[in-house]
Structure 1
Amino acid sequence: MKNIWSLFVIGLLTAVLSACSAPAEKPETGEQWSVEKANEWYEDQGVLIGANYTPRTAINQLEMWQEETFDPETIDQELGWAADLGFNSMRVYLHDLAWKADPEGFIQRVEKFLDIAESHDIGIMFVLFDGVWHPYPEIGEQPEPEPHVHNSGWVQGPSIDVLSDTTQWGYLEDYLKDVMGHFSDDERVQVWDIYNEPDNDNERAYGDINLDNKFEHSLGLLKKSFAWAREVNPSQPITSGLWHGDWSDTDSMSEMDIFMVENSDVITFHCYEGPEIMKERIQALKRYDRPMFVTEYMARPRGSTFENELPILMEHNVGAYNWGFVNGKTQTIYPWDSWDKEYTSEPDPWFHDVLRADGTPYKSSEVELIKKYTSEL
């Protein structure tokens, strides 16, 4: 009897010790990271500096990612230029239609892109959905740029037809979970940006054909997308960025902005208004005690320049992604008002972008400043 009891106790202790020493299983459904976890991640990751990236040969996300126009040679060249500046990250837009048309091929192209980025020691922040510019994207051959017009071919994702019809959101869930799930433990991916400017009404360019009640639809998809992402539970942080309005206190913020900051693991925001507003934005968002990234900035005629803002961002340990890298088919050297004002030649100064198509800098002083700060990381 004693022998039986002894064996039982030994077996029980062995089971307990094995359970204690076994690695914790990943929860099936994640939740917003704690402040402590987010800051520990940022301390390990280090400050991220880079640009919003589309190769010069692509007018939009679809041309970048479709098989016929995917351009690894240009991507390799341009990310080499980015590495020369000391950039350690790029923010890159995906598109649901490119995945829907060819899920397996799309994943393979993203893998190839990440291989190229890794070869240059550059990590990636992927953007899954986008509420900006043309509301009716179409798979296949993309249009040629309209001369001298800012982002004349950029497209929203999903289309407003899908956005306004929840019965079609099933494939959006499949897209998010397939892409995020495939790369959920991939160290080449640094951050997932769920939805860019969801409620942008695109008034200047496409206000006459956009949804009148876009805010309600996009808020619904934003909430669903965060829920889907938490089901995937990636090892990387997820976020969606504030882009307009008053963030000085919760009472001043929209329902969408409150949802974003209360559900993002790291805080992201856009600021094209110059150094004083940048300072105000940073101070307002510090109350969340989370790592911060400005995922869009740098519009020279508005006072949002590298000279004015990189010192501020680095002082406050804020990650920074300027809009645009190499001047190409997106034509974002032209300002937003090119949608309603005619331009016939290169603007002075450029609105966005850092390098000309041959890799030479638009302004050598900017490149020197960028290298100064990246060399200190």
Structure 2
Amino acid sequence: MQGRDVRGFNYDGSWGTSGLDLWQHHDHGRMAVEVARGKEYFPGWNVARWWLSHEAFQRDPERFLANFDAGLGLFAEHDILVVPVLFNRWRDAVCDFGGVPLDHIVPDLSSWSLGEDLFRDARAGDGAAEVQVLFRRYLDAVVGDHTRDERIHSWDLCNEPLMGPYVEDPSSNIRSAELRWLTWCYEVCKDIGAQQPLTIGNYPNTTAIRLTEPMSDIISFHPYFMWNGSGNQPHTKTEEGFEAFLDECVAIARDAGKDLVGNETVWGARDDAKHVDVMRYTLGQLVARDIGFTVHALHHSLVADLHRDEYGPVGRPEWLHFIEADGSLRAGHEAFNEFAPPR
């Protein structure tokens, strides 16, 4: 499948508030219902970006792997390919999802990492830092068991890394360490023998996209038109700025000779009609440029930005979900099918 043909959704189950919570209390029955709802409402849905939790794997590897494989089978029943998100670096003050903290990947940020030579090579043998051993064990098990699995579209190594002002500072030891870790993740997955493409889900920042291009077989980014404002991403506030950003991303992918996918997109809104307007504008701009997409996100969930106010904290993105907690479709959201007709 070429990047421009991707039409889908991100998926987090409805029952948890974080990645660890979702996977420690994984509910396959509810997942089956929610995925089936999505396919019924959106029959052209062909790719799901499914968020994993390395923290849950670390606590119960056998159970995690069984649930992961069962989920792949569930998506396959509906002819939906999967992009598993292996790690997460987006941290949210309102309702944190969890993921990899900087002191796990940047040397000398905590007492346990003092003097550690972190993520210099793909090996995790004697003398390797403990965090490197743990991450390698996770990748060996999750990617290693599915290196030729045709149910997997690609592996998203990390969601939204480099999300800080240090991304623009070439002298930053945080930037260099995070890039070293991402390179290590890429090299480990290749060493394991992954046959599927590898990618990195970048927030809307062209510096981050350019920095992660070398360890991305597919360039993935998050084209959010943030109609209600974003202080650290001003180019997303206006249609003119957003469209210029898209054009620059298209040029980056063209110069690299790689596919481009918006694997997280469509900013939220409490008002259903406003959300539909944002969807129509955003997806229209992507389709006009032959950019495939997985909208964030399919279903109501207790995780950040995917629920109404009565279900928990709501931040600036407001409500991004398409399907409500009771299984009904938000008003007007069948408009997604205008951009993803069944094939």
TM-score (norm 2): 0.75
Q: Partner of 1:241: helix, strand, or coil? A: strand
1:102–1:290 CA distance, 2 compared to 1 (3 A): same
Q: Partner of 1:189: helix, strand, or coil? A: coil
Instruction: Trace 1:36-51 onto structure 2 (pairs within 5 A).
Output: 42=2, 47-51=5-9
Q: Partner of 2:325: helix, strand, or coil? A: coil
1:99–1:373 CA distance, 2 compared to 1 (3 A): same
Q: Partner of 2:336: helix, strand, or coil? A: helix
Superposed CA offset, 1:64-105 (max 9, x none)? 222xx1111111111112212121111112122211122222
Of residues 103, 112, 132, the one that matches 1:169 is 132
Of residues 278, 281, 297, the one that matches 1:324 is 297
Partner of 2:121: none
Partner of 2:228: none
Mapped contact 2:9–2:47 kept (Cα < 8 A): yes
Distance 1:345 1:299 in 2: 17
Superposed CA offset, 1:292-344 (max 9, x none)? 11011111459882210222222332221122222221151579xx9xxxx99
Partner of 1:78: 34
Mapped contact 2:54–2:138 kept (Cα < 8 A): yes
RMSD of equivalent CA atoms: 3.2
Q: Of the two, which has the highest radius of gyration?
A: 1
1:260 aligns with 2:218: no
1:371 aligns with 2:323: no
C-alpha displacement of 1:160:
3.7
Segments of 5+ residues of structure 1 without an aligned counterpart are 1-40, 135-148, 204-211, 248-252
Mapped contact 1:61–1:95 kept (Cα < 8 A): yes
Of residues 309, 319, 337, the one that matches 2:282 is 309
Instruction: Trace 1:129-144 onto structure 2 (pairs within 5 A).
Output: 129-133=87-91
Q: Partner of 1:173: helix, strand, or coil? A: helix
Of residues 194, 211, 216, the one that matches 2:176 is 216
Partner of 2:16: 58
Q: Partner of 1:133: helix, strand, or coil? A: coil
Residue 290 of structure 1 aligns with an amino acid whose one-letter code is K
C-alpha displacement of 1:345:
9.9
Superposed CA offset, 1:117-140 (max 9, x none)? 111221110111111116xxxxxx
Of residues 118, 131, 153, the one that matches 1:190 is 153
Give the stretch that moved more between structures: 309-318 or 212-221.
212-221
1:357 aligns with 2:325: yes
Segments of 5+ residues of structure 2 without an aligned counterpart are 107-112, 119-128, 167-171, 226-235
Residue 175 of structure 2 aligns with an amino acid whose one-letter code is F
Partner of 2:76: 118
1:195–1:333 CA distance, 2 compared to 1 (3 A): closer
Distance 1:238 1:282 in 2: 18
Superposed CA offset, 1:151-182 (max 9, x none)? x14112x3444223332212111211221111
Of residues 193, 199, 202, the one that matches 2:162 is 199
Q: Partner of 1:190: helix, strand, or coil? A: coil
Mapped contact 2:182–2:215 kept (Cα < 8 A): no
Partner of 1:90: 48
Residue 34 of structure 2 aligns with an amino acid whose one-letter code is E
Of residues 251, 257, 266, the one that matches 1:298 is 266
C-alpha displacement of 1:184:
1.0
Partner of 1:283: 250
1:309–1:184 CA distance, 2 compared to 1 (3 A): same
C-alpha displacement of 1:230:
1.4
Mapped contact 2:161–2:202 kept (Cα < 8 A): no
Mapped contact 2:88–2:159 kept (Cα < 8 A): yes
Distance 1:280 1:92 in 2: 27
Distance 2:86 2:204 in 1: 20
1:331–1:358 CA distance, 2 compared to 1 (3 A): farther
1:237 aligns with 2:197: yes
Mapped contact 1:54–1:60 kept (Cα < 8 A): no
Q: Partner of 1:374: helix, strand, or coil? A: coil
Distance 1:55 1:376 in 2: 24
1:103–1:373 CA distance, 2 compared to 1 (3 A): same
Residue 326 of structure 1 aligns with an amino acid whose one-letter code is H
